[in-house]
Structure 1
Amino acid sequence: MIPVSQTPAPSANPEIQPYFEALREGKLLIKTCTHCRQPHFYPRAGCPFCFSDATEWLESRGTGAIYAYSVLRSAKDLPVLAYVTLDEGPTLMTSIVDSPASALSNGAAVRLSVRPGADGTLAPMFTLI
């Protein structure tokens, strides 16, 4: 298993470049299908619900709720792994930062906190509101 801090950065891909540009501005973009109107994450051209290739970028409000989490007591860098359901609907795997593990609970409100990994690649993480 590769430690989080050593996870390789995603390869450059023009299809998802707007996603990384938005992260540099502290924003989270998700894709929405213009055919069935379902938002989805991770960003990709094809809709995973109706398989349409008609998708567009939507800026997330950056808020949501913890769906489930796990405290990784032996991890130093990112000790809380979580699934967060965004207010727009999609659920993503992420980390909870700047929040005491004792204050976490399923359903707790969180907000976006964009952080760099060890290689400098930005990633969406969340903190308690």
Structure 2
Amino acid sequence: MATPIAYGPARVLPGEQIHVTTNPDTEPFWQAAREHRLTACQCSSCGKFRMPPSPYCPNCSSKEREWPTLAGTGKVFSFAICSRNPATGDEFVYVPVVVEIDGAGGTRLVGNLTGCNAEDVTIGMPVEIEWTAINDGWVLPNFRVA
């Protein structure tokens, strides 16, 4: 049996390498992030959450929407272990995760995970939001082990 690779602590990518571009559908999400609030687009008519946000609800076609504040907790739905910075090619261990957000009807969000060694990440692991400053005053939602 092969010995597992020891990657070490998972980190987030350097903020200066990340840029945010918004549009009218995504602006409320990013403005809430600046306030360290996690939100998701929810249809005001049928209550279905939708991420990424869109002008029309895919469930009932309503244009009505709201942006409730969410708890900022969830569980790892999927993940990958990466060992190179995609911008520079340098060795850099990070773990992009897909997190199913608690209280948001199956809504999933992608971010990087911290708070553990990369090789210890598991599906179903409880996580909580962690805010990372990036370019132009924006803030990126990432996750840490709860």
Output the amino acid matched with 1:24.
R
Cα distance change of structure 1 residues 26 and 10 upon mapping to structure 2, 3 Å threshold: same
Question: What letter is aligned with 1:35?
Answer: S
Q: Assess, with a 3 A threshold, how the Cα gap between structure 1 residues 78 and 95 changes in structure 2: closer, same or farther.
A: farther
How far 1:119 sits from its partner (Å)? Answer: 5.4
Q: What is the TM-score with the length of structure 2 in the denominator?
A: 0.73
User: Aligned AA for 1:10?
Assistant: T
Give the CA deviation at 1:64. Answer: 0.4
> Do structure 1's residue 53 and structure 2's residue 63 form an aligned pair?
yes
Partners of 2:116 and 2:50 in 1: how far apart? Answer: 26
Partner of 1:82: 97
Deviates more, 1:61-70 or 1:80-89: 80-89
Unpaired runs of 5+ in structure 1?
none
Q: What whole-Å deviation, never above 9, does each CA across 1:64-110 have from its counterpart, x for those lacking one?
A: 00001001012366711111100122012221123321321000000
Alignment of 1:99 onto 2:116: yes
| Conserved? CA contact 1:78–1:95, under 8 Å | no
Runs of 4+ in 1 over 4 A off after TM superposition: none
Q: Which residue is 2:51 aligned to? A: 41
Identity %: 25
Letter in 2 for 1:50: C
Counterpart code for 1:19: F
Structure 2 unmatched runs, 5+? 1-12, 86-90
Shift of 1:7: 4.5
Distance 1:98 1:47, change over 3 A: same
Count of residue pairs the alignment pairs up: 126
Larger relative contact order (Cα-Cα within 8 Å, sequence gap ≥ 6)? 2
- What is the CA–CA distance in structure 2 between the aligned matches of 1:114 and 1:64, rounded to whole Å? 15
Q: Does 1:10 align with 2:21?
A: yes
| Superposed displacement of residue 120, structure 1 | 4.7
For residues 8 and 35 of structure 1, do their structure 2 counterparts lie closer, same or farther at Cα, with a shift above 3 Å needed? same
Alignment partner, residue 73 of structure 1: 83
